[in-house]
Structure 1
Amino acid sequence: MLIDTHGRIARDLRVSLTDRCNLRCTYCMPEEGLRWLAKPELLTDDEVVRLVSVAVTELGVTEVRFTGGEPLLRPGLVGIVERCAALAPRPRLSLTTNGIGLARTAEALRAAGLDRVNVSLDTLRPEVFRILTRRDRHHDVIAGLDAARATGLLPVKVNSVLMRGVNDDEAPDLLDWALRHDYELRFIEQMPLDAQHGWQRGDMVTAAEILERLGARFALTPDAVRGSAPAERWLVDGGPARVGVIASVTRPFCRACDRTRLTADGQVRDCLFAREESDLRTALRSGASDQDIAGLWRTAMWGKKAGAGLDDASFVQPERPMSAIGG
């Protein structure tokens, strides 16, 4: 198992397949983009599958989430999903995507063995989408969501980040829309993971503010025990529909964290906000056995800190932005 000194066991693996993205969200990266990883630095498809196999068969991982950047930009994505779905024991497989390109790939991904998707959508207004993402692709995201639901990639979860003075007035409208389309909406507090390092706590729309705005239109009742899930959930108007809030900054859930992360260039991160990484790619390419790699992975996770320390005065934002880490 991947256990740390605080007794937490990591059973959920987030795998970044690329640091590239076809949007330029203002809270993530600058308009001109970033310096992408060179192809030799990236794990190959075979290397990704092998590391996922080690995690599943040697280390007790039961859930695998493919992320980015934007994972739909990875040419070998469908094949990676198919090969990971064939592992025994079979892990649950999901994908976090901006939804662009999902309309044309959802059916193939479902056939390959993908179980469900999380799609990022911060606004219902195309003109606000253009401001937030610097791209005119709102219609493509909506089409991707429709395709995911139609092909059975369920439950379809929608991730929304509210930006003060931009889209923070849309919380109730987003929830009403999600309920009508049978999507599970989750609001995410803006985190200090932007490439520009411009995040300011005072600019962030907090979980408390989000719930207050939702409460003006809906009756919210706390859901059952949260467990290790990052989202606190509420029943909407008595249920069964739910809405979630991921409050990594104001209501951290580090005590129950069960995640381990693998970057697109083969580095293990024990925390989203970690400033240190452990290199598996070099060992992989140097002929290490599965057992050797598993040992390195266990060592990397053993030293995981008790918390991310966002409220500590000494907190320093990691050098890698979210696009290069994987959510």
Structure 2
Amino acid sequence: MAKQLEDSFHRKFYYLRLSVTDVCNFKCTYCLPDGYHPTEKKKPSFLTLDEIQRVASAFAECGTSKIRITGGEPSLRRDFTDIIKTVAEIPGINKVATTTNGYRMAKHVHEWRDAGLTHINVSVDSLDPKMFYQITGENMFHQVMDGIDAAFDAGFEQVKINTVLLKDLNSQELPKFLEWIKTRPIQLRFIELMQTGEMDSLFQNHHLSGVSIRNHLIANGWLLKIKGSNDGPAQVFCHPDYMGEIGLIMPYEKNFCQSCNRLRISAKGKLHLCLFGEQGVELRDLLASDDQKESLIARIQAGLGEKAVSHFLDEGKTGMTPNLASIGG
């Protein structure tokens, strides 16, 4: 096995977020309010199945044990099930996750599970169908809810739900969300709105800190869980009276980046050291054949030397990320 991926601040990286498309069919206010628009006139050239296998294998050789397949909306790829199967068969990868808007889950989540998907996150920004439509631009609330039920039927022991906190929109739904997870094995993750290059005014109008929710949880008997080595950045709370859990992702909190354990590959083959980094490291020229693996690993490890200590969001810096769909959120 190649040397474990580690940056100059001694952070080790066990977790890869692998984007397979930047296309999405939703128009979420905090990500793609005007819908997906390609940045190139020609048809976008996303990573092929062979290229995905090569880059994922290289990361596995460097100690990566968890890969999350992201987008855009990853299930828009016709070969999405094949992508899951390809990643799941790579030695050393023991967690294969995806993040989806859920609109195709009811029909396909069983085959995803059979292909090797072990963990699933679904974006649900409201439990009110009207508010769901207002935030996402799509009237698909009931299809997504049916998809979550189908995931449990398919054998997933837990489903994670991602909810972006939006002041004056869904911020009043905490009681409804808590009631929803009382008898369901759902980890509900409240994600603070993050400022990107295309949404300054939205951020100013709707950003809400997760601190008030954390204080509410602690005051009502919720307990903080210990984090695993390849877990994400959420602070996860559990309660003896609830089957579900609450996760808080608060990127503006001090030392948020101290425990960073993930890297990102864009749908066009660039290594991104941070969601809010200034630029990516081109890898695609080394994904054409299997005999380039040593060079690929060397470039990944060299790129890690450029990873900054923080994303500096708290200083108002948003990097070059135009929207969260562009490199997989």
TM-score higher than 0.5: yes
CA distance in 1, matches of 2:197, 2:142: 25
Contact 1:171 1:213 (8 Å CA) reproduced: no
CA distance in 1, matches of 2:170, 2:23: 25
Matches for 1:1-327 after TM superposition, within 5 Å: 1-35=4-38, 38-39=42-43, 41-57=45-61, 59-193=62-196, 195-200=198-203, 203-212=206-215, 218-224=220-226, 229-237=232-240, 241-285=244-288, 289-312=292-315, 315-327=317-329
| Structure 2 CA distance for partners of 1:288 and 1:195, relative to 1, 3 Å | farther
CA distance in 2, matches of 1:240, 1:231: 18
Contact 1:56 1:91 (8 Å CA) reproduced: no
| Structure 2 CA distance for partners of 1:12 and 1:121, relative to 1, 3 Å | same
Contact 1:115 1:154 (8 Å CA) reproduced: no
CA distance in 1, matches of 2:201, 2:289: 39
Contact 1:61 1:91 (8 Å CA) reproduced: no
Report the alpha carbon displacement of residue 287 of structure 1 after superposing the two structures with TM.
8.1
CA distance in 2, matches of 1:239, 1:40: 45
CA distance in 1, matches of 2:138, 2:39: 19
Say which SS state the counterpart of residue 124 (structure 1) adopts.
coil
| Corresponding letter in the other structure for 2:109 | A
Report the alpha carbon displacement of residue 252 of structure 1 after superposing the two structures with TM.
4.7
Q: Deviations over 1:210-232 (max 9, x none)?
A: 2345568x432333357663011
Report the alpha carbon displacement of residue 77 of structure 1 after superposing the two structures with TM.
1.0
| Corresponding letter in the other structure for 1:222 | L
Contact 2:197 2:318 (8 Å CA) reproduced: no
Runs of 5+ consecutive residues of structure 1 not aligned to the other structure = none
Say which SS state the counterpart of residue 314 (structure 2) adopts.
coil
| Corresponding letter in the other structure for 1:53 | S
| Structure 2 CA distance for partners of 1:111 and 1:194, relative to 1, 3 Å | farther
| Structure 2 CA distance for partners of 1:198 and 1:226, relative to 1, 3 Å | farther
| Structure 2 CA distance for partners of 1:262 and 1:204, relative to 1, 3 Å | same
Identity %: 31
CA distance in 1, matches of 2:37, 2:181: 32
Runs of 5+ consecutive residues of structure 2 not aligned to the other structure = none
Range 14-23 or range 167-176, more displaced: 167-176
Alignment coverage as a number of residue pairs: 324
CA distance in 1, matches of 2:52, 2:83: 8
| Structure 2 CA distance for partners of 1:108 and 1:95, relative to 1, 3 Å | same
Report the alpha carbon displacement of residue 254 of structure 1 after superposing the two structures with TM.
0.7
Q: Deviations over 1:279-320 (max 9, x none)?
A: 00123248861010111111111221111111225x244233
Contact 1:29 1:195 (8 Å CA) reproduced: no
| Corresponding letter in the other structure for 2:90 | L
Say which SS state the counterpart of residue 326 (structure 2) adopts.
helix
Range 278-287 or range 153-162, more displaced: 278-287
Report the alpha carbon displacement of residue 191 of structure 1 after superposing the two structures with TM.
0.7
CA distance in 1, matches of 2:239, 2:178: 9
Q: Deviations over 1:210-263 (max 9, x none)?
A: 2345568x4323333576630112222566642110101235521111101000
TM-score when normalising by structure 2: 0.91
Contact 1:15 1:263 (8 Å CA) reproduced: yes
Range 292-301 or range 186-195, more displaced: 186-195
Contact 1:29 1:194 (8 Å CA) reproduced: no
CA distance in 2, matches of 1:93, 1:142: 22
TM-score when normalising by structure 1: 0.92
Range 199-208 or range 60-69, more displaced: 199-208
| Structure 2 CA distance for partners of 1:108 and 1:214, relative to 1, 3 Å | same
